[in-house]
Structures are given as structure tokens and as C-alpha cells.
Amino acid sequence: MSMFGRKTFVAAPTRRGPLDSFSETVIRVVETIGPAVIGVRRKSRTRDLYDGAGSGVIISPDGYALTNNHVVRGAGLVEGVLEDGSVVNAEIVGTDPDTDLALLRLNGGGHRSAALGDSDALRVGELSIAIGNPLGLQATVTVGVISALRRTLRGESGRLIEDVIQTDAALNPGNSGGALVDAHGAVVGVNTAIIGGAQGLCFAVPSNTAKVVLPELMRTGRVARGWFGIAGQTQELARALVRRLGLSGESGVLVVAVSSAGPAQAAGLQVGDVVLKLDGVATPSVDAIHKLLNRERIGRRVTLEVLRDGKVMRLDLAVTERPVEKASA
């Protein structure tokens, strides 16, 4: 109130000054990458209705797009919602549950696309920008920092996804499959998970993992991994046994089941054996074996160092390609 009883108001500035450098960076990245980020809608196989949605990012002008495997898993039909709101059908080219990645091919051409960056070059504390469709809200942008690097995240198949990026850029249901972008406008991750009940704990599959997976998804629709046919669990070893045998580690993988007619059975591996090393590399956990059973070892013979009845022995085993339905070692 003024002294005469009249209300006075402070007028807003009529002219804005130049934007700060932080805002300029975010705007530039969003204007560059935003058109390449799509909504992904999944239709049921049994009913004519949408039963799931997420995000994706187009990585080539001819319509190849990355998303999460869990976004399109079990879909009868997949559609992509482009930046302008138009809807196009999408083919599922390939999926990899072990990394929670899937590759789509959108109908049409001339799509705006984004480039995959080098996730290995990321540093904790640098700017991260997430673009996606949380809760169905198209082209939503959130900003944060890279909170941590080289995390591990358990995939749907039970294997660990390595080198996962942690960010505090806010993610919500529907962000899955969207782009995590650095300050230079390169896609450094595919947003994949949030921790329920926690704030600022969000994760993305690194772009360098996608670069490894993509050629195989394009070629065969799946990623080949090695297998020798056991079910196992991490087994701690008694310290006295470690000292007596001069073992280099204090744990191994206890064999709890051997697949019939699999490579392990042919090599003479038995239930109760503890796998200590594969080709001279320590195997302190099931995840360590999974990591070693990559495409390069398929069709090769490897040496297993095994603890049996208190003695160390070596077995020669031929690694085969993991059957599609198997998630064990």
C-alpha cells in the first residue's frame, strides 16, 4: 500500500539479458538431441490396447532407434511417437536382455538422429541431461550430474550389466530407453532404471556397451555369449584350505547343477566342484565367469582350474554358444 491507500506493484523487467552459460548449454543440447528422442508405445499381443510405454533415441536417419528391452518385451506391436506427435510403426530388430537394450527400426526415412558418444570419457561431476517421456509427457528434459561411474546393475537374465552410469538427473516411469546426453550433445547412455523410494539414484546403460551390442542386433537380432552348462553360486573358501593349497583367491564358483549333454558334463565337471580359474583368470563369482564367457571364447577350448575333494585339478572344456533360453553359465 502507498501512503494514499493505493496498491503498488513492482513491474517485471521488460527486457531479458543474455542467458547464463549453463542455460545456453542445456538449450543447445536439447535443440540438437530433442528431435531424435521418441516415445515408444507397446500394444498387447492378445488385446487391442496399449499395455506399456517408454522412450527411445533415433541413432540413424533411416530410423534405427535404441530403447530398453523391458520397454518392448512381449509386445504384439510397437509404435514410435515422433517429436511432432506423429506416430509410426516400429519393427523390433533385436533385443538383448543381458544389457536391457533393444534395437527398433521406424518406418519412413529422413529421421533426425543423435550420435553415440564415448561413455568411457565421462567424469564424475560433469553435466548430464536426460530426455525422454516420463509418465507419457513427451520430450521432457531433466538436468543433473554424473554421480558415479562403473556401477553394476542386475539384468533381467540374472547377469550383471557392467560399467553402468549413475546420474541424479530425475527419471520417472516412461523415461526408460531415453537418452542421457553430455554437454557436447552426444548420447552417452540409455536410461534404464530408477531405485524405488530413493531420490537421485538413476542409472543408464553406457553408450560404449550399446556400440558393442548394436552390430550383433543388426546382424542376427541377438547377442551371442559363451556357455558351458552349469548352475553355480559363489562359494567362500576356508582360510586354512587357501593357505594349504596356496590359492590366489578366497572364493570360487560352486557347481550346483550340470546340464545334461552340455560342455561341462563332457569335460567331467561334477556337482560339488568349485571353479577357481578360467584360462588362468580367477573366477571368484558367477558374474566373473559370465564376464569371461564372451563371443571370443565361443568354439574355443579353455582350461578350468577346479577344486575337488580338497585338491586342485585342471579340466579341458569346449565353450559353446549359450542357448537362447539359458541364463546360467
Active site residues: 70, 100, 176
Chain length of the chain: 329
Phi-psi region of 265 (alpha: psi -120 to 50; beta: other; left: phi over 0): alpha
- The label of the residue with cell 575333494 reads 309
Residues 6 or more apart from 84 whose CB is under 8 A from it?
A: none
In terms of Cβ atoms closer than 10 Å to its own Cβ (0-12, 13-18, 19+), residue 46 is exposed
CA 261 to the chain's CA centroid: 32
Q: Please name the residue that has the C-alpha cell 550420435.
A: 115
CA separation for the pair 266, 320 (Å, rounded):
12
Report CA Rg, the chain. 25
Closest to 63 measured CA to CA, from 224, 218, 186: 218
Vertex 42: Cα angle to 65 and 66 (nearest 5): 15
